Amino acid sequence: MPSGAERSGVVVLAGGTGGAKLARGMLDVVGPERLSVIANTGDDIEIYGAHVSPDPDLISFWLADLIDERGWGLAGDTFRVMDGLRALGVDVWFNLGDRDLAWCMERARMQREGMRPTEALRALCEQIDVGARVLPACDTPLRTIIDGAGLQEFMIRRGGQGPVREVRFEQQGEPQATPEVLDALAGASCVIVGPSNPVISIWPILKAIGEPLSRQQAPIVLVSPVVGGKIVKGPTAAFLDTFNHPLSAAGVLAFYEQVAPGLIDGVLTDEELPGELPCLRAETLMDTPDARAQVAERTLAFAESLTSQRPGAGPRAQ
């Protein structure tokens, strides 16, 4: 276990949008050596002979400044394979750019040849010069199922519309944190729960790494995904509603208390947060590179001002 002085890593837990933007801001603040991003794999899907891993991939594209303006896929990608499939009468319900498809086919090939998803993503990331570590939360399949359908089917065929009755996970055995994730957590001076959908982006990560996180010595800080009382993008409100929590920072925190009691040591939010938990009230919208870096900087300074309250966490410098 590294000593306090050696623990300078920053770990961000992220889905593909809010958490990914915070990760990009954090890259500016701490640089690639110190940054590890633990990514949700609950959205993964095997399709077109490829293994698509949307959140780890979007985070990688964000960190390499290759993300397209639409918020997913590679900048300037073309869609000729999808056009070709349509011309063959295929129901192309899941859209993937040509270079994106190549990335996901190459992942599938490496995994067929025996690489773990973590290793395959590392090899892909080397090709686009991602210096930080993008780590799938686990290497075994863990799929989020919404009302009986896969996450992508829910998002695309149902337009991501609630109400949602049930969220469950299909998994092979108990998902385990990977050696790379354990290493990143052991070297972390703080862990940031990114402003991602708490139910479908962060909960699957907690399924895999909740146990080591509960022993984490470094403070764990949540950045609220609720901005000005609203969601910037996606179905976070519908999923909070499934668990009877309101759309607010308090509602997001209540969900985390429900699935991982005592996990969060502090919250960064633009709202007033009732209760005892340390809270830094600040703007969290990350619509420009400056705003992303500013939110990351504030989050880091706030996290570094806190001490973890988890039992057994003990003093940080030992």
If the CB atoms of residues 259 and 285 are measured against ligand GDP, the closer one turns out to be: 285
Q: Which residues pair with 81 in a beta bridge?
A: none
Round to whole Å and give the CA distance between 99 and 78.
8
Q: Does 55 bind ligand GDP (CB under 6 A)?
A: yes
Q: Does 189 bind ligand GDP (CB under 6 A)?
A: no
**One-letter identity of residue 128:** I
CA distances for 134 relative to 7, 125, 157, 233, 293, angstroms = 18, 8, 29, 22, 18
Round to whole Å and give the CA distance between 280 and 7.
23
The answer to whether 78 touches 23, Cβ cutoff 8 Å, is: no
The answer to whether 18 touches 115, Cβ cutoff 8 Å, is: no
What are the structure tokens assigned to 286, written together?
């990350």
Q: Which of 189, 201, 248, 294 binds ligand GDP (CB under 6 A)?
A: 201
215-254 footprint of ligand GDP as x/- string (CB under 6 A): --------xxx-x---xxxx-x------------------
If the CB atoms of residues 17 and 118 are measured against ligand GDP, the closer one turns out to be: 17
Contacts with ligand GDP by CB under 6 A: the residue count is 26
Round to whole Å and give the CA distance between 153 and 80.
22
Min dist CB 62 to ligand GDP, Å, is 10
Min dist CB 262 to ligand GDP, Å, is 23
The answer to whether 276 touches 230, Cβ cutoff 8 Å, is: no
Q: Name the closest residue to ligand GDP (Cβ).
A: 18
If the CB atoms of residues 37 and 190 are measured against ligand GDP, the closer one turns out to be: 37
The answer to whether 195 touches 223, Cβ cutoff 8 Å, is: yes
If the CB atoms of residues 62 and 103 are measured against ligand GDP, the closer one turns out to be: 62
C-alpha of 256 from chain center: 15
Per this entry, what is the length of the chain?
318
Min dist CB 200 to ligand GDP, Å, is 7
**One-letter identity of residue 178:** T
Element (H, E) at 296: helix 289-304
**One-letter identity of residue 236:** T
99-118 footprint of ligand GDP as x/- string (CB under 6 A): --------------------
If the CB atoms of residues 187 and 194 are measured against ligand GDP, the closer one turns out to be: 194
Kindly report the backbone phi and psi dihedral angles of residue 168, in degrees, each rounded to the nearest multiple of 5, phi listed first.
-140, 175
Min dist CB 237 to ligand GDP, Å, is 8
Q: Does 30 bind ligand GDP (CB under 6 A)?
A: no
Q: Which among 18-26, 79-87, 137-145, 243-251 is the span making contact with ligand GDP, rule CB under 6 A?
A: 18-26
* Footprint of ligand GDP (CB under 6 A): 14-21, 55, 195-197, 201, 223-225, 227, 231-234, 236, 284-287
